[in-house]
Amino acid sequence: MKLIHKFTLLYLLITVVVLIIGGVFSYHVIKKEVDKEQTRYLKRNVDFTMQELSRGIYPDSLFQNKMEIQTLDMSVPEIEFFVRDTLVWLNYLKRFEPQVKVSASRKIGDQHYYISTYGAIVDTQDITDAVVKSISGIFLIMLFVTALVSVLISRKILKPFNRTLREMKSFRLNEKRPLALMNTSTSEFKRLNLLLEKMTDKMQDDYAALKEFSENASHELQTPLSIIMGKLELMMESDISDEQAKLIHSAQNAVDKLSKMGQSLSLLTKLGNREFDSPGPINLSALVKECLFAFQELLEMKSLTLEDEIEDDVMISLHPVLANILLNNLMSNAIRHNMMGGLIKVTLNQDRLEIANTGEPLTYPAEEMFERFRKNDPNSQSIGLGLAIVKQICNQNDLQICYEYRGVVHVLQISFKMLSNSA
Amino acid sequence: MKVLVIEDNQDLASNIMSYLTREGYVCELASNQTTAIDKLSTFQYDCVVLDIMLPDGNGLDILQHIKSSRLKSGVLIISAKNSLDDKVHGLELGADDYLTKPFHLPELNARLKAIYRRKYLEGDHLISFSEISINIDTMEVFVNDTLLDLTRKEYSLLVYFITNQNRVLTRQTIAEHLWGDYADNLLNFDFVYQHVKNLRKKIIQADGHDYIETVYGLGYKFNNNSAK
């Protein structure tokens, strides 16, 4: 439930309670006023009748509706005005109605008259109706206005807040774009925006520093590696024993691996920096064919059967260097994790690229497949960054990659949004 | 061939110098931009091995100097930055080739020789070594005047061997030379063995001598002294 709805509902609930109490209160106030007026009128009526009586007019001729005149014994003391409520049967309403009754007695000459009269200007039912009607009217107006205002307010007052939410949602640590927050006069939102701006600035600074460090580190690594590699090569030229040759060879393997790891990590960093913007759509079909051709020998070496279904002129928007890295990594992966005499199936059409290969099942959960340094065989010579790079390339270019193990076949599928068909 | 090595790292420079000197080149070293420009204006070099990152400047400035002074030297850039921009930029400025650190010394040698051949031996398309002659234009190889039927890879392998005679070439070095980026993730070098085996067989079938020697535990060597 939205905040503004909560506020509005709570407000309306309070309004209902207040209106009910107010209604009861108004009813009583009105009733009291009406009764007061009624009493005065009745009193005047009684007074008038008394005067008429004292002028010697005969009581019977003073008879009127809702009034009775009786004679009391002279010994009974005079009764001053006595007001009370009474229930009167009303024929036209078919029920008893509370009405005001005023009675008094006076000794006029040798007679003691008792006069009692009752009546109501307004029925209590009418008062109730009027109060309920006016209160409901007020409530309806309130409801309408509140709803309208709450919609408008949420649009206007919450606009900066919603903007902030949108900005935070689209915030990427590796983009150097600052948050475009809206100016607001609401102090809570001001504080929120200020806090978020500070936080994101700090995050971006830290991230940039970290990135720069890893970038420099992987660059700086290359020179000493070059030196080691060269020294080992020079050492091989000298007169060495078989035992030494073996040592040199394994040292060389390690240097090689280290250098490749450094290159891969720096590639990942560069991907993170978005240094490869797509210059426009490229013909993926041609690249896939080229790549398959280049891997031909390696396929034969492992006696792998290649099946391909490649549609012509599949265009996607991707930097050609990245496309090459992507295809190479996927293909070499499919070859490396294959078995002798296995199968590789490459399918490319307008919606997707699919590379399926036979192979042993994974030794780790499939979700971890794209993590860095994830390897099926810890002793393998691969560095375990290939698929992490593939994943990174896909993420940054709106390509969806997913993995499936169907029977004995590993399937990696990349689905893309197509730009256009053949040009 | 006269080569100027512009490299600020002493160890790396000495690696390059000793490898190239043994190859019979005349090598000189410049460890900063000032010395490099001095030497370039005083002497003439066939090839320049140029490191991009120098203590007192950018190697690309030296490249610009070479081009603007219309020096004939071929330029091979070596850089730790495997960045595409640098590569494209360097080649656009007129460098002849680009090598990323860390590199194999035989690869450096092969690239330098290729530059040299392209630049200075324009009329000469033949590389000859005793009974083997290679036409680098048509990519044909003759052994005792018999045309060998070599695949592209076997051809490149033979040129690589002849460029680096009497050098131990490891399987990695060869794989990287033949497959480049494709070799990156495939550390299974059986296919190098396969290619070497086929090349040997084809040369021997054409009555050539078997110059390619297996070096135990390391790789191969093209031995030019083994001819009897």
List the domains of chain A with CATH numbers. Answer: 3-152 (no CATH), 173-275 (1.10.287), 281-415 (3.30.565.10)
Rounded to whole angstroms, how far apart are CA atoms A181 and A197? 8
* Most confident option among A74-78, A349-353, B185-189: A349-353
Closest CA to B65 of B90, B86, B40: B40
Averaged pLDDT, B109-122:
85
- Which residue on chain A is closest to B175 by alpha carbon? A298
Interchain contact, B185 vs A298, CB within 8 Å: no
For residue A421, the model assigns a pLDDT of 42
Are B215 and A335 inside 8 Å of each other by CB?
no
What percent of chain A lies above the pLDDT cut of 90? 13
**What pLDDT score was predicted for residue B189?**
65
B228 confidence band (pLDDT: 50, 70, 90):
very low
How do strand B2-6 and strand B26-30 relate by DSSP bridges?
parallel
**At A16, is the pLDDT very low, low, confident or very high (cuts 50, 70, 90)?**
very high
* Per-residue confidence (pLDDT) for residue B53, from 0 to 100: 82
- Residues of A within 8 A of B110 (CB-CB) are none
Is B30 strand, coil or helix?
Answer: strand
Quick check: B60 and B89 in contact, CB under 8 A? yes
Tell me how far apart the 2 most distant CA atoms of chain B are, in Å. 56
Copy the structure tokens of residue A81: 């005005």
Residue A419, pLDDT > 50, answer: no
Instruction: Output the CATH code of domain B126-222.
Output: 1.10.10.10
Q: What superfamily would CATH give domain B2-120?
A: Response regulator (3.40.50.2300)
**pLDDT tens per residue across span B63-82:** 999 989 888 889 999 887 66
Asked whether the predicted pLDDT for residue A330 surpasses 50, the reply is yes
Residues on chain A touching B217 (C-beta within 8 angstroms):
242, 245-246, 249
Question: In the numeric block, which tokens belong to residue A320?
Answer: 């050609």
User: Which residues of B fall within a CB distance of 8 Å from A259?
Assistant: 102
Percent of chain B whose pLDDT exceeds 90: 26
Q: What is the pLDDT of residue B227?
A: 53
Given this model, what pLDDT does residue B12 score? 92
Q: Please say if the pLDDT value at position A64 is more than 80.
A: no
Which has the minimum average pLDDT: A373-377, B145-149, B199-203?
A373-377
Interface contact B214, partner A, CB < 8 A: no
Of all residues in chain B, the one with the smallest CA distance to A269 is B83
Give the model confidence (pLDDT) of A148-194 as tens digits. Answer: 888 887 788 888 888 888 888 888 776 777 788 888 888 888 999 89
What is the tens place of the pLDDT at every residue in A117-158? 888 777 778 888 999 999 999 999 988 998 888 888 778 888
CB within 8 Å: A227 and B16: no
Distance from CA of B30 to the nearest CA of A (A): 17
Confidence label for A231 from pLDDT (cuts 50, 70 and 90): very high
Quickly list H helices, chain B: 10-22, 33-42, 59-68, 84-92, 105-120, 152-163, 171-179, 190-205
Whether residue A245 and residue B16 make contact (CB cut-off 8 A), yes or no, is no
Is residue A420 very low, low, confident or very high in pLDDT (cuts 50, 70, 90)? very low
What pLDDT shows up at residue B146?
87
Residues of B in contact with A228 (CB under 8 A): 102
Q: What is the pLDDT of residue B148?
A: 87
Calculate the average pLDDT of chain B.
85
Mean pLDDT of B111-140: 83
Check pLDDT > 90 for residue A25: yes
pLDDT per position as a tens digit, B152-198 = 888 989 999 988 888 888 888 888 888 776 655 554 567 788 889 99
DSSP string, A310-364: E-S--EEE--HHHHHHHHHHHHHHHHHT--TT-EEEEEE-SSEEEEEEE-PPPSS
The dihedral built from the CA positions of residue A390, A391, A397 and A403, taken in this order, carries a sign that is positive
Lowest mean pLDDT: which of A219-228, A263-272, B182-191?
B182-191
- Dist CA A334 CA A356 (whole Å): 7
For residue A423, what pLDDT is reported? Answer: 35
Residue of chain A whose alpha carbon sits nearest to that of B167: A237
CB B130 within 8 A of CB B195: no
Q: What is the mean pLDDT of chain A?
A: 84
Q: What is the per-residue pLDDT for A162?
A: 86
Report residue A46's pLDDT band, with 50, 70 and 90 as the boundaries: confident
pLDDT digits (tens, 9 = 90+) for A366-414: 777 788 777 766 666 666 788 888 888 888 888 888 888 888 889 999 9
Q: Please give the model's pTM, rounded to 2 decimal places.
A: 0.63
DSSP category for residue A77? P
> Residue B207: is its pLDDT beyond 50?
yes
Are B185 and A329 a contacting pair at CB < 8 A? yes
Q: Does the pLDDT of residue A29 top 90, yes or no?
A: yes
Amino acid residing at A189 = F
**Chain B residues within 8 A of A245 when measuring between CB atoms:** 215-218
**Taking CB atoms and an 8 Å limit, are B182 and A332 in contact across chains?**
yes
Give me the residue spans of the domains in chain B: 2-120, 126-222
- For an interface test with A, give the residue of B88, B108, B186 to mutate (most A CBs within 10 A): B186
Per-residue model confidence (pLDDT) at position A275: 72
Nearest to B102 among A226, A246, A275 (CB): A226
Q: Do B12 and A223 touch (CB under 8 A)?
A: yes
pLDDT for position A417: 66
Q: Do B22 and A237 touch (CB under 8 A)?
A: yes
Of residues B92 and B121, more confidence is placed in: B92
Give me the pLDDT at residue B83, please: 61
Mean pLDDT of A203-219: 81
Judged by CB atoms closer than 8 Å, whether chains meet at B81 and A237 is answered as no
Residues in B closer than 8 angstroms to A231, CB to CB, are 11, 15
State pLDDT tens for residues B28-77: 999 999 999 999 999 999 999 998 888 888 888 899 999 898 888 899 99
- Say yes or no for a CB contact (<8 Å) between B216 and A245: yes
Of A227, A263, A301, which is closest to B82 when you measure between CB atoms? A263
| Distance from the B114 Cα atom to the nearest Cα atom in chain A, whole angstroms | 20
